[in-house]
Amino acid sequence: MTIISGLGSRVRGLFTDTKGPWGPTSSEGRGDAPAPDDSEHGSGPWGEPPRRTRRGTLAGPNGSALEELFRRSRARFGGDGGGGLPGLPSRSLILWGVVGFVLIWLVFTSTHSISPGQRGVVTQLGRYSRTLGPGVGFTLPSPIERVKKLDVEKIQSIDLGSSTADDLMLTGDQNLIDLAYSVRWNIRTPELYLFQMAQPDETIREVAESAMRAVVSQVTLNDAMGDRRAEIEAQAAQSMQRILDSYRSGIQVQGIAIKQADPPDAVNDAFKQVTAAQQQAQSYINSANSYSLQLRQKAQGEATSFDKVYAQYKLAPEVTRRRMYYETMEQVLSKVDKTIVEVPGVTPYLPLPEVKKQQQQEEPQQ
């Protein structure tokens, strides 16, 4: 029954004109429901759909142009309803965030602080431009210009030499020696150091080994292990510097220090025994030379003393002869325990040393 009643209402509506120029009129004497208000849900006078304003009100086609202009201006400059999606920040916040990021990026990529021991190498689009000294330097923002900081005062070290057979060096007397040494260096020209060598550490290692082999090949094994080590270090450092300068490496060699100079491991024990025997033989030779020098100096002193006595003897032979006799007897008799006095009327032997000893023993008892 409900379906049939609904169909009947629709048929009556087709033959009944209840709509005016501004929507349906109110029913008069009928049981129909009142027509809805066009201001909220109805249509316009020409059947146009209603438009909702920014504050939720409906505006007809004859809305104010000034109000529309204000609405568009607020939307353009980030006001309410500026086209942002729900849950996202407005356009003004995004714009200020982008501006702040750009400013921070410009400051941090254009200003560079270089410490006193550093230099800053500036590259413009990947190509070397200039070198910044200590202090605050300014460049174009990245990636137009980039700065690479290098420590030019730091002394770096590379250790070379080991116990492998390939590291043994041949000396000038056709012997093998195992050298362990270190190379100290620093950066002299930063731009050359960065762009002239692809692998600086490996280049320094190979140049140092080549220079050391060239110097060791001109000395003997004993010289390399003995007193000429300082000379070998100086010559190898000079040779290294010449080679690195020819490469335009920008590296300054500070020095080379030999830490170990031994024969190969296979003959090291026998070589130590030979060295010990040589040192012992040298010690004996030094002792003999020292004793010989002492005897020579003593003989020279006695000869000088005799010459002086002879000169006095020539001036007064009798007096000199008597003085020499007395000095000789004094030296001889001072070592015996008896005293002989050759004077007429006096006992020839007096036990003076025994008397002196008795007196010395009696004095502590008193």
Task: Tell me the pLDDT tens digit for each residue of 60-99.
Answer: 444 466 667 666 765 655 554 444 445 555 677 888 888 8
Distance CA 42, CA 4 (A): 28
- 353 DSSP 8-state letter: H
**Whole-number Cα distances in Å, 16 to 11, 19, 267:** 9, 9, 129
Q: Of all helices (H) and strands (E), which one includes residue 106? A: helix 91-110
Distance CA 77, CA 225 (A): 85
What is the sign, positive or negative, of the torsion defined by CA atoms of 136, 140, 143, 146? Answer: negative
Record the pTM.
Answer: 0.51
pLDDT digits (tens, 9 = 90+) for 166-193: 678 889 888 888 889 999 999 999 999 9
**Whole-number Cα distances in Å, 125 to 143, 144, 189, 194, 271:** 7, 5, 21, 16, 61
- Contact (CB, 8 A) for 263 and 178: yes
User: For residues 224-233, b (16+ Cβ closer than 10 Å) or e, as one string?
Assistant: bbeeebeebb
Strand-pair category, 176-187 with 156-160: antiparallel
pLDDT at 37 over 70: no
Locate the domains of the chain by residue range. 89-152, 156-263, 267-335, 338-366
Domain 156-263: assigned CATH number: 3.30.479.30
pLDDT at 251 over 90: yes
Q: Of all helices (H) and strands (E), which one includes residue 15? A: helix 2-15
263 CB-contact burial (10 Å; exposed 0-12 / middle 13-18 / buried 19+): buried
- Edge to edge, the sheet with strand 145-151 lists 127-132, 118-124, 145-151
Distance CA 155, CA 253 (A): 10
Angle between helices 268-315 and 317-333 (to 10 degrees): 130
Q: Is 180 left (phi over 0), alpha (psi -120 to 50) or beta?
A: beta
pLDDT of amino acid 155: 93
- Contact (CB, 8 A) for 266 and 163: no
Residue 344: asked if its preceding bond is cis (omega within 30°), the reply is no
Between 47 and 364, name the one with better pLDDT: 364
pLDDT of amino acid 339: 61
